Structure 1
């Protein structure tokens, strides 16, 4: 189980709900870097799960822009420890077939339950748009000059990574992991297909070299690859509730899902125990708008991307928050999109109009 499944089981046990988890690797230590906006984290999480934070991260789009919203990098081991579950209630096995009231395991066993929640994520699912990244971890004194006085680069779209203007774009993501280390990561926001790890590595090496940092080859490496949209449903999983990256908690235009999963765990459990539908009409409407955002990101030309994000980060913080984090905020999400559109260059507006028209 990853953060979504484990948080669900953790909070279910805390609420006295009879729950059984299925985890192919229950003792595996999590290693990915997880980040979140501070205002997304639920109050039941201990403050110790935040390894670092910056109150004013920056973005470089067509220019330097400040983001007035606190951004945190989570302490992954601390997060895993905080989401404690009863090991006796975890079945060490792989789920191969998930149905409304039963789960078939790879060894042939069948687990029955009143409610089945699928929180397996979407890693390895073919045919889905993906986000990829290649990063290196450097000592703080080495990487700090790359921050250029900022607390973090949420995204840096400057074109010094050696890519051609017609290529699928990528940006630099640079954050402090803790007091001693900085992650420098070349990221393909979304692609179908997304950029490969080798391409991103070459771009990162070129970008850092251009800025005066030559890597030694001994740095710790982080590779990222995950789908930014859930797999389509079929008749077999009708009635199965989805949670985390396998559900609409995943923001398809950004790849965010961990913080959203943590933030909505209790509300999700409330719908499960009450028997109510998990989705309100506003959630479905927001998801359709987010899917439009995904198609827009896929259809914009590389040269249009910096202008797109320049307009986004000119929005008020409440509108930025609504679009990035408001899973059921239809008015805010629509407001953000409508406010952005007239501020974009004509070529970007035309590309978006064609996306909306399905062309």
Structure 2
């Protein structure tokens, strides 16, 4: 028999590559502008997610998406220097099945075509792009959005020698006694009395925990950021030590979560033809690790900019420039540099100084610290918050923040001057 002929190219306005929250968020946002969208995914985009996603309640409320929370806590606190600080803001846990169902309904409603295929090669032409699939199918969109995560399929970013990663080991289960106050959520508990003097000199970790109701709790030992990252066995051991000191025994393990992702990757080159979104576009908050809120906030505006560019007849590099310029405006680029500068500072602090920093940070007015953590402060407000933090911090922390080391000065200049 003769060789089979290749199938005709699949045409669309935008090809979104990926199967996770970033890809689904972008595909559904674009499809609402009556664009032809293909979602190209190597895995089933509707498979259950293994990770939990926490978010401040007001982030979803402001978007009219509060119904996507599986749990919501009004008692939210952290512990620094053995003092519990009440945050006074609701915190929520995303209903993964609900969020996937929400996006699946939008995909069906707006005609998003889902292709189970791998993206192998890409070639750019003046008016369109061609992506070759592992199946042999050719896809011909006007724009490609790479939403394949922190190691993207097509998006290019500068090489970075020292990538800091957030690592966490967590357990969902039942315990002999409540590991935290019933009905509450703990953002960061940095108490380390359960560690030996030698362990206390190692990179600090904190407890992130929540009461899931019906006797179930989620407890997670977390390293904010470290290079190299703290290994999961170490985090597991520290969690066990923490629970043992409380006299809390794990009676039933229902789920185990191991989470590892980069915090301080550089931004992609905004001149490239492929548009990134999510981890592929370095949208993780460098100083807090949050990203889902940014996807939900920034996706609709980006989709609107792309739709408008297509209506205006933009194509090729011109369309990509508009999209990148909206996703990473100069203001956002500057803020990203400041956050990376802040992360470098935090990673140099030992446990006591780090707790002193956070104790001071959460004494700022609530709109400032919450806006910092969610990346919703304009540049002027962000720099104002930094100045206010410096003015109120103890002199040891102030000295550390003002004394640039390593690549910190370049990061700060990027944030302030857009070098």
Task: Decide: shared fold, TM above 0.5.
Answer: yes
1:330 maps onto 2:373 in alignment: no
Where structure 1 has 5 or more consecutive residues not aligned to the other structure, the ranges are none
Counterparts of 2:176 and 2:295, CA distance in 1: 31
Deviation at 1:299, TM superposition (A): 2.0
SS at match of 1:148: coil
Deviation at 1:69, TM superposition (A): 1.4
Q: Which residue of 1 aligns with 2:117?
A: 93
Give 1:149-298 correspondences, 5 Å limit: 151-162=184-195, 164-177=199-212, 179-216=214-251, 218-230=253-265, 233=268, 238-275=272-309, 276=322, 277-278=325-326, 279-298=328-347
Give 1:68-107 correspondences, 5 Å limit: 68-84=88-104, 85-86=107-108, 89-97=113-121, 101-107=129-135
**Contact between 1:52 and 1:179, CA under 8 Å: does it hold in 2?**
no
Deviation digits for residues 70-102 of structure 1, max 9, x if unmatched? Answer: 110111111111111248711212334566634
Counterparts of 2:21 and 2:176, CA distance in 1: 28
Give the stretch that moved more between structures: 75-84 or 342-351: 342-351
Give the stretch that moved more between structures: 111-120 or 39-48: 39-48
Q: Point out the structure with the larger strand share.
A: 2
Q: Which residue of 2 aligns with 1:64?
A: 84
**Contact between 2:357 and 2:397, CA under 8 Å: does it hold in 1?**
yes
Give 1:28-47 correspondences, 5 Å limit: 28-41=47-60, 46-47=65-66
Give the stretch that moved more between structures: 7-16 or 252-261: 7-16
Given the superposition, is the C-alpha separation of residues 244 and 234 from structure 1 closer, same or farther in structure 2, using an over 3 Å criterion? closer
Q: Which residue of 1 aligns with 2:166?
A: 131
Given the superposition, is the C-alpha separation of residues 70 and 217 from structure 1 closer, same or farther in structure 2, using an over 3 Å criterion? closer
Give the stretch that moved more between structures: 61-70 or 214-223: 214-223
Counterparts of 2:70 and 2:379, CA distance in 1: 32
1:8 maps onto 2:16 in alignment: no
Counterparts of 1:11 and 1:144, CA distance in 2: 44
Give the stretch that moved more between structures: 208-217 or 84-93: 84-93
**Contact between 1:118 and 1:246, CA under 8 Å: does it hold in 2?**
yes
Counterparts of 1:115 and 1:45, CA distance in 2: 29
Counterparts of 2:343 and 2:123, CA distance in 1: 29
Deviation at 1:162, TM superposition (A): 1.9
Counterparts of 2:40 and 2:62, CA distance in 1: 27
- 353, 378, 391: which is aligned to 1:304? 353
SS at match of 1:145: coil
1:114 maps onto 2:142 in alignment: yes
Deviation digits for residues 130-185 of structure 1, max 9, x if unmatched? Answer: 1110011123xx38732235611111000134252220110000113455521100
Q: Which residue of 2 aligns with 1:339?
A: 388
Deviation at 1:110, TM superposition (A): 4.1
Counterparts of 2:201 and 2:335, CA distance in 1: 31
Aligned-pair Cα RMSD in Å = 2.7
Deviation digits for residues 29-48 of structure 1, max 9, x if unmatched? Answer: 21210111112126666543
Q: Name the TM-score, length of structure 1 as normaliser.
A: 0.89
SS at match of 1:116: strand
* Structure with max Cα Rg: 2
